Amino acid sequence: MKEQIDVLKEQFNNEMSTVQSNADVENMRVSFLGKKGKITELMQSLRNLTSDMKREAGISINNFKQYVEDAIENKVAELKLMELQREINSAERIDITEPLKVSSGSLHPITIVQKEVEEIFKSMGFMVEDGNEVETEYNNFDAVNIPRTHPARDMQDTFWLDNGEVLKTQTSAGQNRILKKYGAPCRVIFPGRCFRNESVDASHENTFFQLEGIMVGEDISIANLIYFMKTMLSKVLTRDVNVRSITGYLPFVELDFKLDVSCHKLLHFFRLIKKLCNNFECVSLTVAIKVLKNFKKLAFKT
């Protein structure tokens, strides 16, 4: 009996070494542990042995049976581990040391529109300048013909700083500085935040955005100004637009007018360009205007 068990054990080990799947393991289990399996046949052969031989053979058969059960259980665990490893290898690799992705937010709608408008003006030959948010009283008012006695100052409730400077109330505060920097001819836009001590309501805010532009050259006119505005508006609104100029109450510029744009859905004009002015004037004694005295000057603001 012992020799017979040794032969079966060797056969079992050889077959087990070729097992590649759970189906192969199940075939091995049925072959050795099933109702008609090899171990069952060994147990049935005990009837032909004496009592002493039965006891010794029974122990050997049970030990072999336990060996087979353990080997099959280990093989099942091994196959599960191999399958898991295959899934890991085929899955997307994750670097657990890589920092988590932090949401960086998104651009504010005003910033998106500003960048779009800047690119449009760049395509038409304009330069883009960043304006100061803190300006001198001279640049903010006097250099654009709004001295202390001018009534237009009453329309701009200004934030004054302890050192006498101001939070700029208008992008026009950059005109004198930019004209001195570039001279003539030039095409420049300078967008930025402006600040006024306004009561906040549906149409007023203490912090708001403007975009100002200036053009200086020998052969320019209001026709050029309207062309640039119409081109910009057509690109922003992604359609051809009709425009009209209307007069407005703007006591700080002369000659001045505003621009309306047609709205094809509502069938009326809506105010989009806040201010356009032709032949703007800086203070006559500024360095900038001395350089520009022989040129035509145009300015616009949105």
Query: Average pLDDT in the 140-146 region?
Result: 83
Kindly report the pTM of this predicted structure: 0.58
- Whether the ω angle into residue 33 lies within 30 degrees of 0, i.e. cis, is no
Confidence of residue 252 (pLDDT cuts 50, 70, 90): low
Residue 107 has pLDDT above 60, yes or no: yes
Class of domain 109-301: alpha beta
CA distance 242 to 233: 10
pLDDT of residue 288: 45
Q: Which has the higher per-residue pLDDT, 54 or 18?
A: 18
pLDDT of residue 163: 94
Task: Give CB contacts under 8 A, 24+ apart, made by 243-252.
Answer: 244/269, 245/276, 248/275, 250/275, 250/277, 251/150, 251/151, 251/152, 251/155, 252/144, 252/145, 252/146, 252/150, 252/152, 252/172
Domain ranges in the chain are: 2-90, 109-301
Confidence of residue 294 (pLDDT cuts 50, 70, 90): low
Query: Average pLDDT in the 82-92 region?
Result: 82
Residue 208 has pLDDT above 90, yes or no: no
